Structure 1
């Protein structure tokens, strides 16, 4: 799964990103605004596994920012969307560049991982394509990313979201799939002979390319007024195929992975640009 424990590097990118990050907003017209920009600042807090396949969890908090023109309908984002810079092709399709932060796996603080090779944190740049198959109701999105280190490999995240709006309340739910290449799978879920010898509780294992996880994500957003909004979300994914069979996951983790979090947003008119 996409692990999104955001570190300092990601925070910097988030702060500079022109697109909204990990946020959702109901489709409300902001006709009361008069300035050239509406700025939305958000505080985000989320919980996720300490590493992909872990059975322990950690919390992280981070800010995000977005810009739009007055009268422009806010764009709906899923909480698990990567930071993106999008180009709108038409009313249905958009595409662009993305970047995501992938947390690492270290034996420090995880004694059961002693001797097993560490997975270092990384940034994953890539591209995305999304389509509103049913305008403002059904969205499908695909991201393909690769970390900047040699071992990181490629990962593709696929998802669909059914979005329902009830006045100020927006509800969304949809399935998720993740597919990874051999390099990614070996790095995250493989066990070398040296790993097995040094750790003593796992056996050598070679993970191959294929489906990594399958799950679902749900969210609820509420606009209190033109300025204040909040979002709650929760997700579940299960490591499958070679990822789920990894001795690291089976002996020291859990195939069932959960994510949860909340955001609070504040929007204001800004004419400084």
Structure 2
């Protein structure tokens, strides 16, 4: 059985809103699922299968982060990754308040993992547990060629370039080629919105969001670090770094899997997520 997804725009103040996908019921353990970056990304394209599969047990909340998808966008755009993160994270805290959630389990994919760590620094009282999937955040980590393709996508913003970029997110390209093409087509109408390109270009600058060992040592929350062994967007080295320095972290490495563990290993990811949260 899959849970029906409820989609609505939730006001967060200042005339802004976040587009939010929800399953499950208020009062169940709340999972706040934060998508990664990339051109045209939305919560639905990252999390649809996960929130359908887990809505029987949890209250799943998957927003388009501020500046992405059908959510409002900052105007003017903050310049740099860290500056964008602060504005977007404040909007996520406003969403938590608007929904009346007392505590959440943060489930962050890539950029969403980095935002999860920062949220746990700023408001540890709101955070129950953390799940990081292919998360960045390691100081001094050099961008891979595949990540550079993501950063420079708007130099050639075609559907062919989108499909060529997204196929790199999975390890088994033969098995998931059709899925990737469907996601690419879904993203293109969003990519063509001018504020999406403006936000993308504003985000990727020299000032990134990273966490020194002493920063991670202060995030004393049960944490599951999930990483695909063949991830070429954010290398496995980063997963090892986070697991080593977070005081309550377990590391789960999935073989024959790239950056999108929730898509390429969907059943396994949902199973380990369910077990980690319930136990």
TM-score, shorter chain, exceeding 0.5: no
Task: Give the structure with the higher percent strand.
Answer: 1
Q: TM-score, structure 1 length as denominator? A: 0.29
Task: Give the structure with the higher percent helix.
Answer: 2
Q: TM-score, structure 2 length as denominator? A: 0.28
